[in-house]
Amino acid sequence: MKTAFIIMVSKLLYKIGKVIGKGSSMPGKIALKLDKNILRKIKLPEDIVVVTGSNGKTSTTEMICNILQKNGYNVGCNTEGSNQTEGVTTMILNCCNLKGEVKKDVLVIESDERYLRHTLKFFDPKYIVVTNLYRDQMTRNGHPELIYKIIKEGIDEKATLVLNTDDPLSSLYGYKKDNVVYFGMNENNLSTKENTSVYNDGKYCPNCKTLMQYDYYNYAHIGGYHCENCGHERKEPAYAVTNVDLQTGEITINNKYNISMSLRSVYNAYNMLAAFAVTNLIGVDEEKIVSELTEYVMKNDRVQSFELNGHEAMLLTSKHENSISYNQSLTYLVKEKKDCTVVLIVDAVSRKYFTSETSWLWDIDFELLKDDCVKRIVLAGKYVHDLKSRFEYADIEKEKIVAFKNLDDMMRDVKTNSVGNIYVVTCFSDRMKFMDRR
């Protein structure tokens, strides 16, 4: 009876919250206060997928849900809500009837990497997907090795792990384990023999700190590696990108299926692969997955195309405090090979918390912009001086770079002096400051 009451309260609060525009954590928070073991009393479906990791959680979760829904599964999912314990609780209780049964075939849950260990105290997922582990929001996450350990505390022995075999850190969860399915990208025409990034977090084996041997890199420290000391290595993936054609924007999966990517970026190919793997494990036919992935247009608006004073323009939302996310945007725009102006804005480091920490700017490969197609670079925002300091050492012609602390001045310059296409590379916390000034 009490369980039914809590479910009712949570559902009601959720509805009220929706009307008054509140976030999705509050109902779950109150439900957990009323009974901290509430989720243990709920009858959950057998198929529960949890997606965690540094980058690509939301995209991967979205794709998994979409493929499942299009194939007739009734899916419960938190892509639009909070990914911490409270938000997950809200979502699950929302999927319940008053008898405490979740009336869904599958639950797909995006989990914040720091909260996974708390969230998974209350239920046992069948699949845990770890997309990757990168330097991300270090001001609150500490560093990737720490996040590795924190996630590990939450991983249930019985769960099947779906891991990125190309990432030496997150793939370590599968070390000497059987219950693991790997996805990855084979060496291809975009792979390089050397790591050209400003840092290399794959240089030493995360397991035993021996110098890691790399055969190739796909980007950053993502690639083909093996450790001669402890044997930690890239395992042959069951789900693999076997070819990449950036001209046509197509990737080939398992030598068989060609899928065109809405955004021509290898980074997103990993999210597709993870979604392919999980949905196939749940039981969707490969052909059906392929057709959904082909037709699928991302719901999230991280990439937006628009026109600005006669210039084709594109917003490439990148995460502050996350160098790989920035590198992804920079790599993309340079590979497009169009004459362009690149706008970089660092005005508020985070929208969720206060910090003036900008050390992460030094981890971004701004050197990528040393390319003939980049005609002009506009630096802007409160932390423009820190950006400028970083660019002092990026070996890019000074004449190409202009800087504005004031965003109105920036916009005036972008509107009048831009050359070629305009790419706006900035974070959720700052992107509307550009978009609203158009």
Partner 1 sequence: MEIKILHWYYDIMNLYGEYGNIKILEKHLKDQKLKVIVDKKTVNEDVNLSDYDFIYIGAGTEDNQMFVMQDIMKYKEQLKEYIDSEKVALFTGNSYEFLGKTIDEKEALGILDFETTTLKDRKTSDVIYKSKFLKKQVVGFVNKMSNIVHNLNPLFEVEFGIGENENKDIEGIKYKNFFGTHISGPILVRNPEILEMLIRIICLKKDKNLVYKKKEYKNEKQGYELVLSELKNRMNDKN
Q: Which residues sit at the interface with partner 1, rule CB under 8 A?
A: 135, 138-140, 142-146, 198-200, 203-204, 206, 209, 354-363, 382-383, 385-386, 388-390, 392-393
Least distance from C-beta 203 to partner 1, angstroms? 5
Closer Cβ to partner 1, 306 or 393, answer by number: 393
Closer Cβ to partner 1, 190 or 198, answer by number: 198
Least distance from C-beta 229 to partner 1, angstroms? 13
Least distance from C-beta 307 to partner 1, angstroms? 33
Closer Cβ to partner 1, 105 or 357, answer by number: 357
Closer Cβ to partner 1, 10 or 85, answer by number: 85
Least distance from C-beta 133 to partner 1, angstroms? 12
Closer Cβ to partner 1, 70 or 433, answer by number: 433
Closer Cβ to partner 1, 61 or 171, answer by number: 171
Least distance from C-beta 339 to partner 1, angstroms? 28
Closer Cβ to partner 1, 373 or 394, answer by number: 394
Least distance from C-beta 263 to partner 1, angstroms? 27
186: nearest Cα among 169, 166, 161: 166
